[in-house]
């Protein structure tokens, strides 16, 4: 994961990040099967760790997923989080703000969805849309963007100081891979419901979005809330990388089993 982490204070160049990278795994059936097996083990471990997180009610985990259309945000949630108990997990997808939300600061609606202690929160797109889409389409000034960068850092520091571990994941796919995935939606009747003609218009702005993502991650990858550029052309490797990062983050919390009640004689207790 150190290879994919955006170092705090560094300048990110996405051209140097290979979206087709598979790490130590080769792109053959045997290595692919091995990676999938390791991912399944990590998913089982995450299930056990989540139970401790939920039982302790001391910490929380926020996973932020960003990426271009078809980069695999939904697929990541469906695959990596498949072993998580829904009772202790909430997925939030931020759409265009409502009139009520626009009447507040841009982080107002986001703070309300931050996970409570004991819970895992997943943002499928997030507050970062307000420094990505708005910037690419010229809806905010450069001065306002820089101010929002600082406000985002302060907001995430607030969450971190209050026990929320934050993992920010940029699912990095190539423009060619996106083309194939969009065409697959057209060909497959079961996938056509995902089709949005706006995806074609946004695709024309690919270079602008890459520049915006570089600026966002360079400005907001911190020790408390680091960004990871996840190679996402190969779904099986994407899932492995993300599962590994999520498991390691919860492990780093060092949560034990909560103590049992002290006023019970557990050796004599009988249920009739």
What are the pLDDT digits (tens) for 220-254?
Answer: 999 999 999 999 999 999 999 999 999 999 999 99
24-46 confidence digits (pLDDT tens): 999 999 999 999 999 999 999 99
As given in the structure block, the two tokens for residue 119 are: 């819970």
The more confidently predicted of residues 257 and 132 is 132
What local confidence, expressed as pLDDT, does residue 234 receive?
98
Looking at the structure, give the CATH architecture of the domain made up of residues 14-251: 3-Layer(aba) Sandwich (3.40)
pTM: 0.94
Pair of tokens at residue 149? 């960068």
Q: Where are the domains of the chain?
A: 14-251
């Amino acid at each position: 994961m150190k290879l994919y982490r955006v170092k705090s204070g560094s300048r990110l160049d996405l051209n140097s990040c290979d979206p087709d990278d598979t790490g130590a795994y080769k792109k053959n059936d045997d290595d692919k099967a091995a990676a999938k097996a390791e991912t399944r083990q990590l998913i089982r471990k995450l299930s056990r760790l989540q139970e401790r997180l939920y039982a302790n009610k001391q910490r929380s985990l926020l996973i932020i997923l960003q990426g271009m259309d078809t980069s695999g945000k939904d697929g990541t949630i469906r695959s990596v989080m498949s072993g998580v108990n829904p009772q202790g997990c909430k997925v939030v997808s931020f759409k265009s703000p409502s009139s009520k939300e626009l009447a507040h600061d841009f982080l107002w609606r986001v703070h309300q969805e931050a996970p409570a202690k004991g819970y895992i929160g997943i943002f499928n797109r997030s507050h970062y849309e307000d420094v990505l889409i708005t910037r690419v389409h010229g809806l905010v000034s450069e001065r306002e963007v820089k101010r929002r960068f600082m406000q985002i850092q302060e907001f995430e520091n607030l969450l971190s100081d209050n026990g929320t571990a934050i993992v920010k994941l940029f699912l990095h796919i190539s423009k060619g891979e996106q083309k194939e995935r969009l065409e697959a939606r057209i060909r497959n009747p079961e996938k056509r419901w995902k089709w949005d003609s706006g995806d074609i218009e946004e695709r024309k702005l690919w270079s602008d979005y890459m520049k915006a993502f570089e600026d966002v991650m360079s400005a907001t990858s911190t020790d408390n809330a680091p960004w990871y550029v996840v190679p996402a052309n190969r779904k099986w490797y994407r899932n492995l990388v993300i599962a590994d990062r999520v498991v390691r983050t919860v492990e780093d919390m060092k949560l034990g089993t909560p103590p049992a009640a002290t006023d019970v004689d557990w050796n004599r207790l009988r249920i009739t």
